[in-house]
Amino acid sequence: MASDLDSTPVITTRRDEATGFFQRMVSKGLGWARKNSLWQYPFVTACCGMEYMSVSSARYDIARFGAEVPRFSPRQADLLLVVGTVNCKQAPILKRVYEQMSEPKWVIAFGVCASSGGFYDNYATVQGIDRVIPVDIYVPGCPPRPEQVLDGLMLLQRKIQDQQHKLIDRAHVPTLAEGGGERR
């Protein structure tokens, strides 16, 4: 008897499963849009800057991946490219730039100096920017080749595409009477 019930098709009408389907569809659409429209903020400090310029040039064309125009205001960017060596004096500035970026935000450590401090094993150099801010993708190399940077960017795009986005349930938004503040 249990085997007959297991093979019968079931139409579910539960709210959580319907919300799950809708949420998956919206999440896929948002993931596709976000992965193809990355607004980058380059935090360029050292020799890896030359490789960053070559990635942005016509030969490698980072524009194919939706990350063409660099934004030099952290409030307009969602991708922070930390390119090169970060000194201990620059660490608070990097942290402030990261905090000023809008959500959702992602970080790529570009080069071995940003990833692990490189060959600068001294008191003045941050031994990896992950001690200051969270990092999503590490691109190794001294300096990394443009192909490596594009591979790291594609890896970040896959990560963005696969994220689950939470939807706001308007039925549970607190009203003024419940102490939720002013509604507009």
Please tell me the least confidently modeled range out of 53-62, 87-96, 162-171.
162-171
User: What local confidence, expressed as pLDDT, does residue 99 receive?
Assistant: 92
Topology given in CATH for the domain delimited by 39-158: Rossmann fold (3.40.50)
Say if residue 86's pLDDT is above 50.
Answer: yes
Q: In which band, very low, low, confident or very high, does the pLDDT at 6 lie, cut at 50, 70 and 90?
A: low
List, for residues 130-144, the tens digit of each pLDDT value: 999 999 999 988 888
Please tell me the least confidently modeled range out of 7-11, 23-27, 108-112.
7-11
How many C-beta neighbours within 10 Å does residue 181 have?
A: 9
Q: In which band, very low, low, confident or very high, does the pLDDT at 168 lie, cut at 50, 70 and 90?
A: low
Beginning with the edge strand found earlier in the chain, give each strand of the sheet holding 137-139 in spatial order: 40-44, 79-83, 106-110, 137-139
Residues 6+ apart with CB under 8 A from 106: 38, 78, 79, 80, 136, 137, 156, 159, 160
User: Residue 65 gets which letter from DSSP?
Assistant: G
Domain boundaries, the chain: 39-158
The stretch 36-60 carries a mean pLDDT of: 83
Strand segments, DSSP code E, in the chain are 40-44, 79-83, 106-110, 137-139
Nearest Cα neighbor of 31 from 135, 119, 106 is: 106
Percent of the chain, pLDDT > 90?
Answer: 13
Angstrom distance (rounded) from CA 7 to CA 157? 39
Nearest Cα neighbor of 112 from 100, 104, 120, 102 is: 120
User: What local confidence, expressed as pLDDT, does residue 5 receive?
Assistant: 53
Angstrom distance (rounded) from CA 184 to CA 173? 12
Handedness of CA 120, 121, 124, 129 (dihedral sign): positive
Q: In which band, very low, low, confident or very high, does the pLDDT at 166 lie, cut at 50, 70 and 90?
A: low
Q: Across all residues in the chain, what is the average pLDDT?
A: 79
Q: Would you give the end-to-end CA distance of the chain in angstroms?
A: 56
The stretch 150-155 carries a mean pLDDT of: 90
Reduce the DSSP state of residue 46 to 3 states and report it.
coil
Say if residue 184's pLDDT is above 50.
Answer: no
